[in-house]
Every structure is written in C-alpha cells, then in structure tokens.
Chain A
Amino acid sequence: MSSPETQIPAAQTTARKLTMVEALREALREEMRRDDRVILIGEDIGVEGGFGGAFTVTLGLAEEFGHRRVIDTPISEAAIAGVAAGAAAGGLRPVADVQYGDFLFIAMDQLANQAAKLRYMSGGKISVPMVMRAPVGATTRGSQHGQSLEAFFTHVPGLKVACPSNPYDGKGLLKTAIRDDNPVIFFEHKLLYGSKGARKEAGGVEVLGHVPDQEYLIPFGQAKIARPGRDITIVANLLMVHRSLQAAKILAERGIEAEVIDVRTLVPFDWDTVAESARRTRKLMIVEEDNLTGGWGAEVAARIGDVCFGHLDAPIRRIAAPDTPVPFAPIMEKFYIPSMETIVATAQELVSNY
C-alpha cells in the first residue's frame, strides 16, 4: 500500500473555502502536474465548450494538459474501465470517469474480473494503479441515475473504495487514490459537489469546505470522528455524514451526545476507530443511502457485533434505503433516502430503551 506522507490539520493552514468539485479538480490538476503518467479518460470530460464531465470536475483540465492527457471517449463504459486497467498495467496511472455511478454495471466485468484480479492471478507480478470515479446518490433522477453502489465494490477483493463527504477529504483522498498502486473506486455524492452554472445541483448540502493551500494527502483506512460524543456512535459515509451531523445537533438539544464517524474509505476500513467508539458509547448505528439488504453497513454491524459483543448495551441498528429501486417523485425519494428525522428517532430510541 502506498503510504501518504502528510496530513495537515485544516486549522494550521491558510483557510480557503472550496466546493467538492473545485477540490477534486485541484487534486487532479496537482497530480497531473506532479506525474506525467496520470491521464484522465471518460465521456465529455475535455470537450471545448462542453461541461467538464457530468458534474464539471474536469472543467478546464484539457486546456492545461491537452487532449493527450484528457481523453474523451465514446459512450463505452466497459472499454473505459478496461482500457484504463490495461493502460495501468502498462505503466500509466489513469483516472477513469463515468457520468453516473449506475453505469458502472456496464463496466462490471472489467472492474471486478479484470482490474481487481490481474494482480492476484499473476501471482503478484502486475499492478493496476487506476482510479474509477463515479457519482452516486439519489437526486430526483429516478432509478438509473441515482443509486448508491458502494456495497457492490466493497465485496470485490482487490478493489479499494473511497467515499468522501467534504471537499477537504475529497481532495486528500483523491490524491491518495491516484498514487495508490491498486484500482480504487472513488464515489462522489451528487448533492455534495457544489457544481456551478448549468450543472448546479438542486438541494446541495453544505457544499463549501475548508481546503488548505498547502499540499496534503489523506491516508486510506482512517475514519474521522466528525463529531465526538459519549452516548451513541453513528457511522456514516457521503451524504449520510451530513444527515447524521444534523441529527446529532438535534439530539444534543435533547441531552444525547452522539458521536458521528465518517468512514472516508470502505476498503480499507478503519475497524479500530469504529470498534473503539462503539465500546466507549456502548451503542452503534450505521447510516447509509444504499439499499438495506447487503449494504456495507451490514458488514460493519456483523463485525462490530462480533468484536464488541460484551461491550454493547443495545442491538446494532441500521438505517438505509428500503429494498426498492430509487423512485423519481420527490415525495417518494424523500421517503426513500434516510432522513435526519429517522436518525434522530432511532438514536433516541436506542438511548432511551437500553
């Protein structure tokens, strides 16, 4: 595993506020300037007069790095993933891109059978240093442009999975992903992007965040305690970190101090931080936007239940989307996505009843 060199606490640096899109773009730009082997490959990412990928992350990069390094592709997701994997095995560090995470299913063989397994099948002789960026999250686009796909990829040995919740983490984790010698699936939530202009996303959540001027990386496998608390541990990722933090504020007003842990990466997973917190608060809940059955939270519940059995005072509770496709109607979608209110009610129930 590549081990990142630095992590600068935001407090010690010049404060700038960037959106996730700006932070991710800055990560790409810095890594492309640093390493000529880094290339971008995807649909609509470098077209003059275009939009810089579906959510503007790559806007302006073709102007700086040219079309040799910012490669627009046909609509061919399987080949995008596979060509990236082949180029990675051939010495490049491609950052591939799909417009919506849902399209990764088209590329699934290339990601799960090829990129993830080339190293293993070769007896450790091959590295596949590629990043596959993919937007996830329900945003009134219905069933095929709004899924959360983390669980599918955490299940494949050989793939790393990152899922930042804020611009600072987004930049630091993307730079680490690019330098990692393994294939990394990098999930970005559409409501956290802060895309501007015509690509602005309605209903965006706390899209601005502090990002230092100085270069920094964030190691994989280090969760962040986004809010400390003593009464209950809430583990979440992506948008659900923000919902959980909002819930924690309400809970605090009611005398319940919830600890919110942002997992930041699912593979590798920071078991120690979550287990330590669960032992301390003696109550654990997990919040994810993915469908309930087989979501990543199920794995967290099982493993933490295993190692913290004697330390828990309550059943581990999971909050996730129901086992349905993502609905379109806003009223249904609101029902589908785990809400702040549900998180508050569940935490309160666990704290009161156990």
Chain B
Amino acid sequence: MNDSNLDSKQRLAIYRRMVLCRKFEERVYYLFLEGRLPGTVHQSAGQEASAVGVCSALAEGDVITSTHRPHSHAIARGLPVKSLMAELFAKSTGCCRGKGGSMHLGDLALGMLPAIAIVGGGIPLATGQALAFQYLGKKNIAACFFGDGAANIGTFHEAINMGAIWNLPVVYICENNKYGASTSVEKVMKVEHVSTRAAAYGIPGMTIDGNDVEAVHRAMSSAAERARGGRGPTLLELETYRFSGHSRSDPGHYRPQDEVAAWKQRDPVGLYEKALTDHGVLTEEAARQISASVEKELDEAVKFAEESPSPAAEECLSDVFA
C-alpha cells in the first residue's frame, strides 16, 4: 500500500467506512432473522473493498448507480445510515420515503441514483447521467456498479458501446463475485475476465483484486481522472466474493466449502485492518474506538428507524407523476 497517495486520515476514514458497511449488514441480517424487516434483502458482506474503494475516489456531484445489492454502495457513497436503515424498515424517513426498500436505496441529491434491481438495467442510466454531465459541461462522472451476471445482458453491450463512442465521463465497474444468484460465472462466460470485453468497445479494461481496497481506490482514481478529463470510460472488473447467499433465503449450498473458506481468508475488512496495523496507521485501541463508534451509529440508526412513522397507506398513490 505504499504506492497509494492516501494519507493516514484518509486511510482511517476508508477503514471506518468498510467497518460500517460490514456491521450494517450484520445488523440487517439479525433484524431479518428477528422478523423486524419486511421484504427480502441481498447482502454485500465481503464486497466492502469494492464499494468503498470506488466511492473513495469520487468527488462531490458524481453519481453512482447500483444494483439489487446496494447497501454497501449507499453507505460508501455517504448516504446517511439512518435514512438507509429507515428505508429497510419501510418508514417515511427512509431515503426513498418507504417506496424503494432494500433494492432501491439511493438519493440522487447525495450522489446515488435509486438502485436498479433489474440486472444490467442501470448501465444505460449511468451512461445517460454521464451524457448529461458532458452536455452540461460539468466535471462530474458517473460510476456504474453491476455484477458479473450483468455482463451477459444486452444493455451491457449497448450502453458501454455508447459510452465509448461518445467518450462519456463514466466508469463501468463490474463486481465479479463469481456467482449470478446460484450460477457460477464459469458456466455462463467463455472468457476468463469480464474486463477483456473492454477491447470490444475500444476502451481500457482491467481486472483488479476487488478485496484490496487501496488497489480498487488506485484503479478507480485513474479511471475517474481519465473520465473527468474527457478521455472516456474504463471497464473495471473487481474480483470479490459475497460471504452470504444470494438473498435472504439462500444458504449458498452451490458453493464449495473450501472456496468459501479461501475467500474468507481474504476478508477485505480484515485484510485492510492488518495492512493498516502493520503500517502503524491503525492501533488496536483506534480499531476498538472505530468499532464502538460504528456500533453506536448503528444503534442510533436502528432506534431512529424504529421510532420513525410509517408512511400513510394512501401515500401509495403519490409520486407516480411529477
């Protein structure tokens, strides 16, 4: 991590954000088990380095698009955890006022389009956001998250090609977590790396260790700089792994135990904690303090969500049209 330009303060902020993502998902897991949250949930524990590494390279006014697995993206982008938790509780104080839920977390004013839960559906939208930035002469970029599954849907091809031919300020970020629901990526893709497909659009593509947050940050920083400078999109493939099943009800029996164990050895939060400790950036005491402050933030978020009012049933009828 010596070749990174991050200072200690930034590193600790990144670490804290990753811990927040992890502990948020742990809370959500137990809240679901206790039956306190409606609906379903697609958890992202294990993918914190990708979410935080990408978003730590963004500037104010940049916009991310996300997927049906958006919790860490939203936290990494800096949306208030209270408003995210309240949305999961289906409360009117949620970031989508109870109309979105887990799969549509977002707040455009804070730099995140409501997450798009149709696989690949957000890729054209991110490209359109980038078109608006370019047209309006803004120096902002769109960062478009999607999974390995989305690399095989038509909008991937259509939208990345458009982003490429118009040199749009967008970075396409494939979080390759090796499985589309229960289907191994090897069964549905002949090429080893999604990033090689960048060649088909004449843009740079690279595969990065998606569990190394500073490697992600570096790759995203240079892709973002390129996009901001008018030189067009990059396709980043971040290799990572989700520790949970696909969704709430999935125990993940299709994944070999030794594979899961090997990836858990490469837990992105643990890896970064060790790296920071080894480099003297993080002390045991500081780690404890960060953990405690995150727990407190989550306690407050859950309390806020529980005490928030539910929307009136009739609010179902509003917000269809502007």
Interface positions of A (Cβ within 8 A of B): 1, 39, 68, 71, 73-74, 76, 78-79, 81-92, 94, 109-110, 113-114, 118-127, 129, 157-158, 160, 180-182
Contact (A120, B108) CB under 8 Å given A78-B154, A82-B125: no
> Which of A76, A82, A92, A123 sits near B100, CB closer than 8 Å?
A123
The verdict on B63 contacting chain A, using a C-beta distance below 8 Å, is yes
Contact B114 A110 (CB under 8 A): no
Contacts of B322 in A (CB 8 A): 1, 119, 127, 129, 180-182
Which of A78, A79, A119, A160 neighbours the largest number of chain B CB atoms within 10 Å of its CB? Answer: A79
Query: How many interface contacts (CB-CB < 8 Å) are there between A and B?
Result: 149
Contact (A157, B158) CB under 8 Å given A68-B135, A114-B125: no
The verdict on B46 contacting chain A, using a C-beta distance below 8 Å, is no
Q: Can you list 21 A-B contacts (CB < 8 A)?
A: A68-B135, A74-B162, A74-B165, A76-B158, A79-B162, A82-B123, A82-B159, A83-B159, A86-B113, A90-B129, A92-B136, A119-B322, A120-B320, A121-B100, A121-B104, A121-B114, A123-B319, A125-B108, A126-B114, A127-B322, A158-B321
Minimum Cβ distance to chain B for residue A90 (Å) = 3
Minimum Cβ distance to chain B for residue A214 (Å) = 28
The verdict on B124 contacting chain A, using a C-beta distance below 8 Å, is yes
Q: When chains A and B are docked, how far (Å) is the Cα of A109 from the Cα of B99?
A: 19
- In B76-125, the 8 Å CB interface with A consists of 94-100, 104, 106-109, 113-114, 116, 118, 121, 123-125
Contact A84 B321 (CB under 8 A): no
Given contacts A74-B161, A89-B108, 8 further A-B contacts (CB under 8 A): A71-B166, A79-B155, A86-B124, A86-B130, A87-B131, A109-B118, A125-B108, A157-B320
Minimum Cβ distance to chain A for residue B64 (Å) = 12
> Which of B135, B142, B154, B319 sits near A92, CB closer than 8 Å?
B135
Which of B114, B155, B158, B162 neighbours the largest number of chain A CB atoms within 10 Å of its CB? Answer: B158
**Interface size, B (range):** 35 or more
Contact A90 B123 (CB under 8 A): no
Contact A39 B108 (CB under 8 A): no
Contact A92 B132 (CB under 8 A): yes
The verdict on B44 contacting chain A, using a C-beta distance below 8 Å, is no
The verdict on B19 contacting chain A, using a C-beta distance below 8 Å, is no
The verdict on B272 contacting chain A, using a C-beta distance below 8 Å, is no
Minimum Cβ distance to chain A for residue B130 (Å) = 8
Contact (A89, B125) CB under 8 Å given A122-B99, A124-B97, A125-B107: yes
Contacts of A158 in B (CB 8 A): 320-321
Contacts of A160 in B (CB 8 A): 321
The verdict on B318 contacting chain A, using a C-beta distance below 8 Å, is yes
B135 closest partner in A (C-beta): A92
Contact B319 A119 (CB under 8 A): yes
Which of A1, A122, A180 neighbours the largest number of chain B CB atoms within 10 Å of its CB? Answer: A122
Q: When chains A and B are docked, how far (Å) is the Cα of A52 from the Cα of B97?
A: 43
Q: When chains A and B are docked, how far (Å) is the Cα of A158 from the Cα of B121?
A: 17
- In B252-282, the 8 Å CB interface with A consists of none
Which of A84, A123, A125, A180 neighbours the largest number of chain B CB atoms within 10 Å of its CB? Answer: A123
> Which of A39, A73, A120 sits near B99, CB closer than 8 Å?
A120
The verdict on B128 contacting chain A, using a C-beta distance below 8 Å, is yes
Contact B161 A76 (CB under 8 A): yes
Q: When chains A and B are docked, how far (Å) is the Cα of A121 from the Cα of B140?
A: 24
Contact A123 B155 (CB under 8 A): no
Contact B161 A123 (CB under 8 A): no
Minimum Cβ distance to chain A for residue B4 (Å) = 31
Contact with A along B303-322 (1 / 0, CB 8 A): 00000000000000011111
The verdict on B24 contacting chain A, using a C-beta distance below 8 Å, is no
Contacts of B158 in A (CB 8 A): 74, 76, 78-79
Contacts of B15 in A (CB 8 A): none
Contact A82 B155 (CB under 8 A): yes
Q: When chains A and B are docked, how far (Å) is the Cα of A310 from the Cα of B254?
A: 62
Contacts of B94 in A (CB 8 A): 123
Q: When chains A and B are docked, how far (Å) is the Cα of A109 from the Cα of B125?
A: 12
Q: When chains A and B are docked, how far (Å) is the Cα of A87 from the Cα of B159?
A: 13
Minimum Cβ distance to chain B for residue A265 (Å) = 13
Q: When chains A and B are docked, how far (Å) is the Cα of A76 from the Cα of B155?
A: 8
Minimum Cβ distance to chain B for residue A40 (Å) = 12
Contact B108 A82 (CB under 8 A): no
Q: When chains A and B are docked, how far (Å) is the Cα of A180 from the Cα of B159?
A: 26
Contact A78 B124 (CB under 8 A): yes
Contact (A89, B129) CB under 8 Å given A119-B322, A120-B319, A124-B318: yes
Minimum Cβ distance to chain B for residue A37 (Å) = 8
Q: Closest 10 CB pairs between A and B?
A: A86-B128, A82-B124, A90-B132, A123-B97, A79-B158, A124-B319, A181-B322, A86-B125, A76-B158, A83-B128
Minimum Cβ distance to chain A for residue B136 (Å) = 6
Q: When chains A and B are docked, how far (Å) is the Cα of A118 from the Cα of B106?
A: 11
Contact B118 A113 (CB under 8 A): yes
Q: When chains A and B are docked, how far (Å) is the Cα of A123 from the Cα of B113?
A: 12
The verdict on B126 contacting chain A, using a C-beta distance below 8 Å, is yes
Contact (A118, B161) CB under 8 Å given A1-B322, A158-B321: no
The verdict on B172 contacting chain A, using a C-beta distance below 8 Å, is no
The verdict on B127 contacting chain A, using a C-beta distance below 8 Å, is yes
Contact B125 A85 (CB under 8 A): yes
Q: When chains A and B are docked, how far (Å) is the Cα of A29 from the Cα of B44?
A: 48
Contacts of B241 in A (CB 8 A): none
Contact B126 A86 (CB under 8 A): yes
> Which of B99, B123, B127, B159 sits near A121, CB closer than 8 Å?
B99
> Which of B126, B128, B132, B321 sits near A119, CB closer than 8 Å?
B321
The verdict on B146 contacting chain A, using a C-beta distance below 8 Å, is no
Contact B131 A90 (CB under 8 A): yes
